[in-house]
C-alpha cells in the first residue's frame, strides 16, 4: 500500500471501500483553495448526480408518495447540509487538503459547504473506483431515508430570505394549470428579491409551491 493510500486507511474503512486508485481519493479530498489544478470541484459535479440517483431510487422503493412529495424528500437528502452532516459523522474534515487559513479557523462559516462538497466528491470517487455498488453502499449506510417528515420547503425558503434578502418574503406565481379537473397539474414560480426564480409542479397549487420553493432553495444554498 502506498503512503498516500495508507494515510487514508481509516477513512477508507468508514467509506466501506479500499481504493485501487489512491490519487482519485486524494483529489476528492482536495479543496480548490488549496490546489486549483487538482481540486475536487469536477468530482463534486459527478457525485451530486450519483447521490441524486441512488437517493431517488431508494425513496421510490420506500414511499408511495406522489412525485411532488418524493421531490421534496429528495431535495432534503441531497442538500449540502445533509452531505455535510455525513462528513462530520465520519470525521472527513481531518482528511481534507485545505488552505492554511481554513485549517487554522476550522473552516469557519464555510466549513459546512466545504464539507458538503467534499462528500459529493468522495461519492464520485467511490463510483469511479468501485462502480455504483461502492457508491450505493456508502450512501445507503449513511443517509437517513426513514424520516417521518420533511421540513416544509416554503418555511425554509422564507427563513433564508429573511436572513439574506432584507426580510422580503418569497413570492409564488401560478404559471399554468393543465389537465382535467380530476387530475390537474399546476406549475408555480417561486422568487426571492434579487434572484432568478425556479418553477415547480404538483397536483395541487400547494404542492407546486413546495416543489418550486425546494428547487429555488437548493440553487440558492449551493450558488
| Residues carrying an active site annotation | 48, 120
CB neighbour list of residue 141: distance below 8 Å, 6 or more residues apart = 16
Distance (Å) of CA 73 to CA 78, 117, 146, 152, 197: 9, 20, 10, 10, 21
- Cα–Cα distance measured from residue 116 to residue 61, given in angstroms and rounded to the nearest whole number: 25
Q: Where are the beta strands (DSSP E) in the chain?
A: 171-178, 185-191, 198-202
Buried b / exposed e across 207-222, counting CB within 10 Å, b at 16+? bbbbbbbbbbbbebbe
Q: Whole-angstrom Cα distance, residue 149 to residue 156?
A: 14
Amino acid at each position: 500500500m502506498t503512503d498516500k493510500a495508507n494515510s487514508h486507511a481509516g477513512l477508507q474503512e468508514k467509506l466501506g471501500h479500499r481504493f485501487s486508485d489512491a490519487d482519485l481519493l486524494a483529489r476528492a479530498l482536495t479543496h480548490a483553495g488549496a490546489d486549483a489544478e487538482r481540486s475536487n470541484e469536477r468530482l463534486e459535479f459527478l457525485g451530486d448526480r450519483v447521490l441524486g440517483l441512488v437517493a431517488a431510487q431508494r425513496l421510490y422503493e420506500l414511499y408511495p408518495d406522489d412525485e411532488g412529495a418524493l421531490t421534496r424528500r429528495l431535495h432534503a437528502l441531497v442538500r449540502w447540509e445533509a452531505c455535510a452532516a455525513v462528513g462530520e459523522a465520519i470525521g472527513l474534515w481531518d482528511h481534507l487538503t485545505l488552505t492554511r487559513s481554513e485549517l487554522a479557523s476550522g473552516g469557519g462559516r464555510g466549513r459546512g459547504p466545504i464539507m458538503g462538497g467534499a462528500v459529493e466528491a468522495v461519492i464520485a470517487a467511490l463510483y469511479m473506483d468501485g462502480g455504483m455498488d461502492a457508491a450505493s453502499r456508502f450512501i445507503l449506510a449513511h443517509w437517513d431515508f426513514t424520516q417521518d417528515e420533511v421540513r416544509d420547503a416554503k418555511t425554509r425558503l422564507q427563513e433564508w430570505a429573511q436572513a439574506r434578502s432584507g426580510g422580503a418574503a418569497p413570492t409564488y406565481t401560478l404559471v399554468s394549470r393543465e389537465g382535467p379537473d380530476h387530475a390537474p397539474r399546476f406549475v408555480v414560480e417561486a422568487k426571492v428579491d434579487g434572484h432568478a426564480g425556479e418553477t415547480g409542479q404538483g397536483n395541487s397549487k400547494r404542492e407546486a409551491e413546495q416543489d418550486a420553493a425546494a428547487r429555488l432553495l437548493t440553487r440558492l444554498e449551493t450558488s
